[in-house]
């Protein structure tokens, strides 16, 4: 990761996050690295570092955090949160960062594609008659091929 430029800070960023679920105790982070040592993603991808993300947030680096691909690497496994000695709700914090990134227009193409599928069809993987024939062959019940409730959950605008 590149060096952090503290000239690009937004002091309101941390204040916004502390008002959201998961962000209330973020300033209690001692940077002990327990979250990093607990994280299975950090083990395989060093660009994901929960302690560094928390620090960047506390420094007010809104654009770097919300615009970075690294926040999307969190799998919400709760390993970091369960082990945090300060009780920081890191998993909920990461979810809030993802929500704020979407609100600010930062959304990876893969996540956008999944969002479009869910809002358009009600599921990521469509089910068709062929799928149901396979299910019926092994004595599983058929599943609905359409998801009508999606229109109630995601009403079409305009």
DSSP of the chain: -PPP-GGG--HHHHHHHHTSTTTTTGGG-----HHHHH-HHHHH-TT--HHHHHHHHHTT-HHHHHT-GGGGG-----HHHHH-TT---HHHHHHHHHHHHHHTT---HHHHHHHHHHHHHSSSS---HHHHHHHHHTTPPP--S--TTHHHHSPPP-
- Judged by average pLDDT, the poorest of 68-72, 104-108, 118-122 is 118-122
62, pLDDT greater than 50: yes
What is the domain partition of the chain in residue ranges?
6-103, 109-153
The pLDDT of 85-92, averaged and rounded, is 94
The pLDDT of 110-138, averaged and rounded, is 85
Report pLDDT for 46: 84
- Judged by average pLDDT, the poorest of 50-59, 60-69, 93-102, 111-120 is 111-120
The pLDDT of 41-66, averaged and rounded, is 92
Tell me the C-alpha distance between 40 and 42, whole Å.
Answer: 6
Q: How would residue 1 be classed by pLDDT, with cut points 50, 70 and 90?
A: low
Q: Give me the architecture of the 6-103 domain, per CATH.
A: Orthogonal Bundle (1.10)
91, pLDDT greater than 50: yes
């Amino acid at each position: 990761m590149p060096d952090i430029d503290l000239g690009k800070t937004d002091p309101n960023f941390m204040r916004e996050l502390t008002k959201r679920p998961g962000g209330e105790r973020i300033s209690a982070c001692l940077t002990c690295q327990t979250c990093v040592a607990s994280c299975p993603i950090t083990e395989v991808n060093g660009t994901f570092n929960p302690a560094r993300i928390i620090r960047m947030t506390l420094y007010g680096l809104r654009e770097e955090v919300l615009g970075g691909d690294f926040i999307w690497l969190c799998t919400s496994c709760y390993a970091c949160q369960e082990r945090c000695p300060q009780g920081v709700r890191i998993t909920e914090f990461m979810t809030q960062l993802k929500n704020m990134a979407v609100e600010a227009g930062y959304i990876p193409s893969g996540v956008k594609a999944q969002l479009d599928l869910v809002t358009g069809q009600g599921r990521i993987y469509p089910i068709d008659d062929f799928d149901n024939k396979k299910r019926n062959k092994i004595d599983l019940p058929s599943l609905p091929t359409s998801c009508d409730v999606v229109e109630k959950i995601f009403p079409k605008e305009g």
